[in-house]
A and B are shown apart, each in its own frame.
Chain A
């Protein structure tokens, strides 16, 4: 092994803690960004795949009068070349009176459904003539169990029924994914509803959905009609028809899909020319709409917060790399006197950035993609009956861009610093960098403040302002963490506050989980940031700390020397971060159209401050050991 290579390995060994921090900070940033940014897509993909499997129809054709859908029209539609198939059936919403509830009744042929499969999830399909299956229930539906007997009256003029039926099984219809109540076609005030309108304020809500099998129904009518069942069924006018197209883009949540569906509908309208039909696309389905709206909100959050995560990660990476190369100026000087080329020196320090970058990005993607999407997906199960299979098909776009950005920052700063140092005369590099002279700071010109500061605080303030760049970087890093922690807590408050509002209750569970993820990642990032900064501060002040020890300052007083500095710069960071957090959160809430800042509890501001101060405290207690370990005589004897 060449001695140069040995020196590279030695650099890694010596800076192992730095390397771990770089990797950790990049990891957290990338994990959060990559994980959150793909979550919305994973959910949509999974729903798409599920829709594919269940052969979900693209349009529901509805008759707007009691005459129903004519078989002629069905046949005409079937012949259009972009129509994959059409299936007509009977569906009716009844209101049994205030206390008995609202029911939706489907009359279908279970066995031969070409679309929107009715999957049995519990019990059996009807075996007896008076048995039915019911739709699975969400949190807000009236719950019937298998074996329950339900009586209802259907006073449709073509199909008058007065039945007492037993529930034999519970089924799942892919059109009902949301755990909120479906809207009935009956209005609260008794007026005729507008099927094409999306305004649901005047609509009653369905308490239970029944599915009656057509075979069972004809049996129910008696043996005499058994052979004529097809004829009888054809006599009952069909209220609805599922239509599936074959010329649509795969992603049902895309605009292209919606546009193509609308185009197809226009062609159908022109073909059959019947004003008594309404065409309801999948995009009007309550579950579909709610999932799309909500994943869009997740996507917005996944775009805004990562900017801050990456900014903080980038800042800390920048500081760490800068200090690494500053520390090695003497080594660079030695290399130059030995005639080692600039490129070779550059390679050495690039290797540090590359290795921490690759490890951080690799692990970040791995952890982020495997942990966050399942959590968000799982959160969606609070509000939706999510497909059991999660479709991990996603794009790396946002995660990729932010990682590339982090990488470029690390490599660029390495280039700049190595070029800067290799342009300095080696002799100058070999001399230790003159310590920055102490000088009076601005605060000293405000005597009524300065005079009242204790001696140690005067020294702390001078120290802080002596290294302005370090101060600014520390403040910004803490400010960034503050913004993220505050937004996380704020979102928790908003989702709690909105829970009182029944319209939104269903989607808040997942918002709360996302908020917790933001808080968790922000706190970890904050701990790493403070740890890194404190550690650098201690190693920078080793000589000063050794001097204090020799003078008889005890361990606590020595710790306070660095602690005060970190504490004060953290407080500055919090002071800057809180208003920024307020602005960001109000922007986000406004953008995703969810509540407002008044939902944020006053104590969340306080908690945010306390969390950061506790992080600072914990880190300083942990790093106390490093201060205790400083060897007085070794540190004081050396020139630098």
Chain B
């Protein structure tokens, strides 16, 4: 871990996202600044309504910031237009969602291919599925897979295109305890072994011990930033 190159991959600078509801302005993200290095496992923690989904949308290139900077590997995505954001999502970021969002009419393998056919330096879908433990189930459709297996497909889809950041929104929210732990283990391994930046957005505060960095969000601001020099192994965490 010490030999990991400390390259800054994501940096937010006084990031603000304002929503206008009727006559009132609401800052869902209200001046957030942080710095994330390559290969770090980051937990963004907060109750619902704290602004973590808005932050996730901004980091994921699904929405524009009102002001501030959000620099991904040297490029400010806060200022990007619609087209540039699409390219950003295509090349630089992988998503893992609470409800997997797999295409029902595509097999596990094809669901991964759906992402990889967009990008030249993608990894081989078969290899990735084998890595997440689904070698035998590649030809199965989502409906033939368990929730945990579906989330593995979704993770495989996210990492197969070799993105700079993997963004996970409540990745264990729809899973049982054991399966959820396995998924977190997989995400942690991706960060540690493959030197990938993994950002997990969750309301489950038990996860704070497993992240290299933890941002506690409240009212659109980072209320507390924790740096774990020796993050806990997933097996040791209980909730």
Which residues of A are at the interface with B, using a C-beta cutoff of 8 A?
Answer: 434-439, 455, 458-459, 462-463, 466, 543-544, 546-555, 632-633, 636-637, 639
Contacts and interface: CB of A to CB of B under 8 A. Distances in A.
Nearest to A439: B141
B53 A435 contact: no
A438 B103 CA distance: 9
B62 A637 contact: no
A226 B105 CA distance: 102
B87 A552 contact: yes
10 contacts: A437-B142, A462-B105, A544-B103, A551-B95, A552-B90, A553-B90, A633-B57, A636-B97, A637-B97, A637-B99
Given A552-B90, A554-B86, A437 B101 contact: no
A550 B89 contact: yes
Contacts of B115: 551-552
B98 interface: yes
A438 B53 contact: no
Given A437-B141, A552-B91, A637-B98, 6 more contacts: A438-B142, A466-B105, A547-B101, A547-B102, A547-B103, A551-B95
Given A551-B118, A554-B86, A436 B106 contact: no
A633 B53 contact: yes
A633 B63 contact: yes
Contacts of A633: 53, 56-57, 60, 62-63
Given A438-B106, A639-B99, A554 B114 contact: no
B47 to A, nearest CB: 16
Nearest to A558: B86
B104 interface: yes
Contact of A455 (B62, B90, B97, B113): B113
B104 A550 contact: no
A458 B117 CA distance: 14
Interface string B204-224: 000000000000000000000
Contacts of B83: 554
Contacts of B114: 455, 459, 548, 551
A196 to B, nearest CB: 75
B99 A435 contact: no
B110 A437 contact: no
Interface string B75-97: 00000000100111111000101
A316 B35 CA distance: 56
B114 to A, nearest CB: 7
Contact of B104 (A435, A549, A554, A636): A435
Contacts of A548: 114
Contacts of B113: 455
Interface in B15-73: 53, 56-57, 60, 62-63
B110 A459 contact: yes
B107 interface: yes
A551 B106 contact: no
A438 B101 CA distance: 14
B227 interface: no
B126 to A, nearest CB: 15
A459 B115 CA distance: 13
Contact of A550 (B95, B102, B103, B119): B95
B178 interface: no
Interface centre among B83, B91, B110 (most CB of A within 10 A): B110
Given A438-B141, A455-B117, A636 B101 contact: yes
B110 A455 contact: yes
A258 B16 CA distance: 89
B78 to A, nearest CB: 17
Contact of A459 (B97, B99, B105, B119): B105
A540 to B, nearest CB: 12
Nearest to A546: B101
B144 interface: yes
Contact of B62 (A435, A458, A550): A550
B86 A552 contact: yes
B226 interface: no
A543 B104 CA distance: 11
B143 A551 contact: no
A636 B143 contact: no
Interface centre among A435, A463, A633, A639 (most CB of B within 10 A): A633
A439 B87 CA distance: 31
A458 B118 contact: no
A435 to B, nearest CB: 5
Contacts of B60: 550, 633
Contacts of A550: 60, 62, 89, 95, 101
Contact of A543 (B53, B95, B101): B101
Contacts of B157: 551
Interface centre among B57, B97, B104 (most CB of A within 10 A): B104
Given A437-B141, A552-B118, A458 B99 contact: no
A501 B78 CA distance: 73
Contacts of B169: 637
Contacts of B88: 552
B86 A459 contact: no
A552 B97 CA distance: 15
Given A455-B110, A633-B53, A435 B143 contact: yes
A547 B95 CA distance: 10
A626 to B, nearest CB: 16
B160 to A, nearest CB: 11
A551 B91 CA distance: 9
A438 B143 contact: yes
B170 to A, nearest CB: 9
A399 B85 CA distance: 55
A276 to B, nearest CB: 87
A455 B63 CA distance: 29
Interface in B120-143: 141-143
A437 B57 contact: no
A317 B101 CA distance: 32
Interface string B168-206: 010000000000000000000000000000000000000
A551 B90 contact: yes
A389 B184 CA distance: 84
A437 B99 contact: no
A633 B62 CA distance: 7
Given A438-B143, A553-B118, A632 B62 contact: yes
